Structure formats: C-alpha cells, structure tokens
C-alpha cells in the first residue's frame, strides 16, 4: 500500500477530485497549507507599506492506494493538477505500513 501526498494549487482541487472520482478513488483528505518552491510570492500594499508575501496558499491532498493502483492515481493527479506554470506543486509517494477502518476494524487492502 502507498500513501500519496500531493501539494497542489488550490483552484485545481476540483479538477483533481473529479479525475480521481472518475478512476474510482473514493476517499481523500485535504488540508489547507502554505508553502513555496520556485514560485515567487506576491506583493501586498497598504498605504505605502509594501509587503512581499513569500508563503503561497496551497492544498495538500493525501490519498492511500493499493500498490497496483499507484501509477494510475499518480498519473491522474499529475495530469489534472497541471497548469504548465511554476507553482503547480509536487507529488510524494511513501510506503504505507498499515491501514485500519475504524468502524469495522478491517485492515490492509480491505480498509482502503
């Protein structure tokens, strides 16, 4: 099992969600985060006081998948989140040791 963590531009969230839904991924977790990579911040101006805001709002998406689903899911995320501009984000893949469904106690692949 694998845990996919993706950092995305917030306005692409809807496209990614639709794409995942189309391939049968039914559960995701989304967090609002801030960050930067190569994308420059923006300037805000208040009565002559200019502030460069480095941290940009992003969405962190986490989804647990089975190993054989991995490539397809990563592919869908990468395609739907892509705008071609700097700041599109990154996808991290890590090993997932165990998954438990709280309601039923199912574990492993049954819990995905």
Partner 1 sequence: MINAKKNTSINKGLVGGLFAISAMTMPAISHAEDVLNSGDTAWMLTSMVLVLFMTIPGLSLFYAGMVRSKNPLSVMMQCFTITCLITVIWVIYGYSLAFGDGDAFVGYLGKAFMAGVGVETLSGTIPESVFAMFQLTFAIITPALIVGAFAERMKFSAMLWFMALWVTVVYAPVCHWVWGGGWLGDQGVLDFAGGTVVHINAGIAGLVCAIVLGKRKGYPSTAMPPHSMVLTLVGAGMLWVGWFGFNAGSELAADGTAGMAMVVTQVATATAALTWMFVEWKIHGKPSALGIASGAVAGLVAITPASGYVGPMGALAIGAASGLGCYIVAVHIKRALGFDDSLDAFSVHGVGGIIGAILTGVFADAALGGVGLEEGVTIGGQVWKQMIGIGATVVYDLIATLILLKIVDLVIGLRVTGDEESEGLDIALHDERGYNL
Give the shortest CB-52-to-partner 1 separation in angstroms.
Answer: 8
Query: Which of 51, 67, 100, 110 touches partner 1 by CB under 8 A?
Result: 51
Listed ranges 20-28, 38-46, 59-67, 95-103: which one lies at the site for partner 1 (CB under 8 A):
38-46
Query: Which of 38, 45, 84, 104 touches partner 1 by CB under 8 A?
Result: 45
Site for partner 1 contains 46 (CB under 8 A): yes
**Count residues contacting partner 1 (CB under 8 A)?**
8
Q: Are 75 and 64 in contact (CB under 8 A)?
A: no
* Cα–Cα distance list, 52 to 9, 43, 44, 47, 88 (Å): 19, 4, 6, 14, 20
Please name the residue ranges forming H helices in 60-110: 70-81
Q: How far apart are CA 98 and CA 107, in angstroms?
A: 7
Q: Which two tokens stand for residue 99?
A: 């998954």
Query: Which of 26, 32, 49, 85 touches partner 1 by CB under 8 A?
Result: 49
């Amino acid at each position: 099992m694998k845990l996919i963590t993706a950092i995305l531009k917030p306005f692409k969230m809807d496209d990614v969600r639709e794409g995942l839904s189309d391939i049968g991924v039914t559960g995701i977790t989304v967090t609002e985060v801030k960050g930067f990579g190569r994308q420059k911040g923006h300037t805000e101006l208040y009565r002559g006081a200019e502030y460069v805001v480095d941290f940009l709002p992003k969405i962190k998406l986490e989804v647990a998948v089975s190993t054989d689903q991995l490539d397809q899911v990563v592919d869908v995320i990468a395609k739907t989140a892509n705008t071609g501009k700097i700041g599109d984000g990154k996808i991290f893949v890590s090993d997932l040791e165990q998954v438990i469904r709280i309601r039923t106690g199912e574990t492993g692949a049954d819990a995905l």
